[in-house]
Homo-oligomer: A and B are copies of this chain.
Amino acid sequence: MSSSFPDIASKLSSIAKDFHGRGWLLGTSGNLSAVVSREPLHLAMSPSGVDKGELTPDQILLIDEHGLVVSDKPTKPSDESPIHVRIAKARGAGAVLHTHSIWNTILSEHFGADGGIAIEGFEMLKGLQGVRTHEHREWLPIIENSQDMPALADRIGDTLKKHEHVHGFLLRRHGLYSWGQDLRQAKRHVEILEFLLEVLGRTLMISNRQKV
Interface residue ranges, A against B (CB under 8 Å): 18, 22-23, 26-29, 51, 53, 100, 102-103, 105-106, 109-110, 121-124, 127, 132-135, 145, 147, 171, 173-175, 184, 187-189, 191-192, 194-195, 198-199, 201-208, 210
Q: With a CB–CB cut-off of 8 A, which chain B residues contact A27?
A: 124, 127, 188-189, 191-192, 195
The A contact surface, by secondary structure, is: helix
Copies in the complex: 4
Decide: B106 and A26 in contact? CB cutoff 8 A: no
Contacting residue for A173 out of B106, B121, B132, CB 8 A? B121
In the complex the two chains form, what is the Cα distance from A204 to B110 in whole Å?
11
Contacting residue for A51 out of B51, B188, B195, B199, CB 8 A? B188
Nearest-neighbour CB distance to chain B for A7, whole angstroms, equals: 15
Contacting residue for A102 out of B100, B106, B198, CB 8 A? B198
**Assuming the A-B contacts A133-B147, A191-B27, are A184 and B123 also in contact, with contact meaning beta carbons closer than 8 angstroms in the complex?**
no
**Assuming the A-B contacts A123-B145, A127-B29, are A106 and B203 also in contact, with contact meaning beta carbons closer than 8 angstroms in the complex?**
yes
Decide: A175 and B26 in contact? CB cutoff 8 A: no
Q: Which of A204, A206, A207 has the most CB of B within 10 A?
A: A206
Decide: A194 and B26 in contact? CB cutoff 8 A: yes
Chain B, Cβ-Cβ closest to A100: B124
**Assuming the A-B contacts A123-B145, A123-B174, are A26 and B191 also in contact, with contact meaning beta carbons closer than 8 angstroms in the complex?**
yes
Q: With a CB–CB cut-off of 8 A, which chain B residues contact A189?
A: 27
In the complex the two chains form, what is the Cα distance from A135 to B199 in whole Å?
29
Chain B, Cβ-Cβ closest to A80: B123
Q: With a CB–CB cut-off of 8 A, which chain B residues contact A171?
A: 123
Q: With a CB–CB cut-off of 8 A, which chain B residues contact A174?
A: 122-124, 134
